[in-house]
Structure 1
């Protein structure tokens, strides 16, 4: 019992850390809104896949978009309901996304829930990688799995899909057949191959222009590039960059 209580405390302390970083920092919120504002119009429908504690949800709502927030972790889904559950413009779906419907087992980092993942390759790649020292995926959690296509059938076709699922991005894109006008997916230096796989899947869906933003800079690292140039950037992402988001347009 003491171990269970200790684990619960560790998990909620991790959630509190995420809230402090992503929701209580007003500069972060304002910067994120400025960055997204040229890409999102009032009334647009956005899917936030890997919504975490909802900083993107809040920014998208402030810009007038409707949001489907998708989060597999039960604690984080509970936080999303507390923060956005009374907002008719937000739908909260506790699920993982993949190529087909079913169930998923999530590797949970209780101290740092933002890097919880469905990808064993991501966990293996992060082990010993620069900047990932001390990270521990010390719990597992089962969640229902659905697809982007199923969400589009339920809520309508999105104008923007953001995917941040720690090395599982290509699998999420495998469940998409009708690409939205704008898509973003995370790339991580500790799992470069997963980023390349996601890029290749996005190219197969018909995207031809790609642009990179690093970390939480909310700034562009590149102009629009073709797939070959972006592949070279993702494959060579320096350890110091840690992570970034690739934005895709047809």
Structure 2
């Protein structure tokens, strides 16, 4: 056994191990943060798209912020960003990546229909961790994520959009990306906001339709859709609830995208 291996084994058997792991994690976070801060053509495309919703000084909620690829854009646009992310590793990264960013607030929770706790299904691919076991069944059965695993669980605190608004104010824009839990997040909203986006998948459209109906009950609202990561609207105009349901039903089974809602009476 070489000297290097002996040292490693010794460190692994002593209190030095937690210290070593701590500094290793810090170095990794710093490296990832540097990569994150680089500006790409995809970042610019997203900025060009989101600036129709967000102006400097606006309040934005990033629900399901993950590692901040949208929060990065919202911050660049001059928004006050409230990033909501319950996954420990993702929230730790956000805390490091935005440590020097003014007007950035991290909420280490999930959002839902009511305050409480819930069990999150954690995937090694953190972008598909979810609070919805029904969504997991749907995307595995469809083949979209047939080979993926959700083999860990995390108990997370759950709050509501209404409570977030009471604490931070009424947002100009809310981005929701919570892998099938959108219906529950929207159920926690009772008042119009500027605009909302939420991810949809064809195999889980029933939930998306419920979100449309719920938003339509809150106040006068118009809808659009964007497929994939195109950062372009698919419809020639904003449409009402009935028309957007027809448009969603026409989406190809292999496609996914984002539903956009814009309230006509919200202050913005």
On whether the aligned pair clears a TM of 0.5, the verdict is yes
CA distance in 2, matches of 1:211, 1:78: 33
Q: Any gaps of 5 or more consecutive residues in structure 2?
A: 1-24
Relative to 1, partners in 2 of residues 1:217 and 1:171: Cα closer, same or farther, differing over 3 Å?
same
Specify the SS of the correspondent of 1:55. coil
Q: For residue 157 of structure 2, what is the aligned residue in structure 1?
A: 144
Q: For residue 78 of structure 1, what is the aligned residue in structure 2?
A: 92
Q: For residue 116 of structure 1, what is the aligned residue in structure 2?
A: 129
| Higher deviation after alignment, 125-134 or 71-80 | 125-134
| Higher deviation after alignment, 114-123 or 40-49 | 114-123
8 Å CA contact 2:212, 2:241 repeated in 1: yes
8 Å CA contact 1:202, 1:248 repeated in 2: no
- Root mean square deviation of aligned Cα: 2.3
Q: For residue 157 of structure 1, what is the aligned residue in structure 2?
A: 170
Give the TM-score taking structure 1 as reference length: 0.87
Q: For residue 3 of structure 1, what is the aligned residue in structure 2?
A: none
Q: Any gaps of 5 or more consecutive residues in structure 1?
A: 1-11
CA distance in 2, matches of 1:149, 1:60: 21
CA distance in 2, matches of 1:131, 1:88: 38
Q: For residue 198 of structure 1, what is the aligned residue in structure 2?
A: 211
Task: Map 1:34-183 to 2 at 5 A.
Answer: 34-110=48-124, 112-183=125-196
CA distance in 2, matches of 1:90, 1:23: 15
8 Å CA contact 1:163, 1:186 repeated in 2: yes
1:227 to 241, 244, 268: 241
8 Å CA contact 1:40, 1:60 repeated in 2: yes
8 Å CA contact 1:211, 1:246 repeated in 2: yes
8 Å CA contact 1:174, 1:201 repeated in 2: yes
| Higher alpha-carbon Rg | 2
Provide Cα deviations, 1:41-81, integer angstroms capped at 9, x if missing partner. Answer: 11000000010111111101111111000011111001110
Give the TM-score taking structure 2 as reference length: 0.81
Specify the SS of the correspondent of 2:260. strand
CA distance in 2, matches of 1:141, 1:25: 32
CA distance in 2, matches of 1:42, 1:25: 19
Relative to 1, partners in 2 of residues 1:120 and 1:58: Cα closer, same or farther, differing over 3 Å?
same
Compute the displacement of 1:244 (Å): 2.6
8 Å CA contact 2:192, 2:263 repeated in 1: no
CA distance in 2, matches of 1:68, 1:38: 19
Compute the displacement of 1:236 (Å): 3.8
8 Å CA contact 1:149, 1:176 repeated in 2: yes
How many residues align? The count is: 234
